Chain A
Amino acid sequence: MNGLTIGRLAKASGLRTDTLRYYERLGLIQTEGRKANGYRIFVPETLQQLQFIHRAKLLNFTLEEIKDLFIVRGSPQSNCEQIYERLQGKIAEIDGKIDELATFKRELQSIAKKCPRGDAPLTDCSLMDFLDKPVACCEEKPKARSRKRNFGKVCVAIFALGASSLPAHAKPISYVDGVMVMQENDETGHTLSFDYTLTPNYAIGWYDKWEENERGGKNYSVHGPEFNTLLKRWNLPDGQANIFNSTGAGFADGDHKIRGAAWTSFLADYETRRLYSSYEIRGMFADDINSSVWQRARVGVAPYAAGYDDVAAWFMLQGDYHPGKKDTWVATPLVRLFYKTYLLEAGYSSNHRLMLNWDLQF
Chain B
Amino acid sequence: MRKFFIALALIIALSGPAYAETIKASVNGLVCAFCATGIEKTFRTQAAVDTVNVDLDNKLVTITTKPQQTLDDATITKLITDAGYSVTGITRNR
A residues whose Cβ falls under 8 Å from a Cβ of B: 170-171, 173-178, 199-200, 230, 233-240, 271-273, 305-310, 312, 338, 340-341, 343, 359, 361
Contact = CB atoms under 8 A, between A and B. Distances in A.
A233 B84 contact: yes
Interface in B1-58: 27-29, 31-39, 41-42, 45, 53-57
Given A307-B56, A308-B55, A312-B33, A174 B28 contact: no
A236 B28 contact: yes
A271 B29 CA distance: 9
Contacts of A200: 81-84
How many of chain B's residues touch chain A, expressed as a range?
20 to 34
B34 A312 contact: yes
Contact of A173 (B29, B36, B84): B84
Nearest to B82: A176
Contacts of B34: 170, 312, 338, 340-341, 343, 359, 361
Contact of B31 (A173, A238, A338, A341): A238
Nearest to A359: B34
Contacts, number: 82
Contacts of B32: 240, 271, 273, 312
Interface of B is mostly: mixed
A239 B56 CA distance: 11
B33 A178 contact: no
B42 A340 contact: no
Given A312-B34, A340-B37, A361-B37, A240 B29 contact: yes
Contacts of B55: 308
A171 B53 CA distance: 23
B92 interface: no
B69 interface: no
Interface string B75-90: 0000001111110000
Given A305-B56, A307-B56, A308-B54, A341 B37 contact: yes
Given A176-B82, A305-B56, A271 B37 contact: no
B33 A240 contact: no
A311 to B, nearest CB: 9
Given A173-B84, A200-B84, A361-B37, A239 B31 contact: yes
Given A174-B38, A176-B83, A237 B33 contact: no
A175 B33 contact: no
A271 B84 CA distance: 14
Q: Which of A199, A240, A308 has the most C-beta atoms of chain B within 10 angstroms of its own C-beta?
A: A308
Contacts of A306: 33, 56
Nearest to B53: A308
Given A178-B38, A200-B84, A235-B85, A308 B29 contact: no
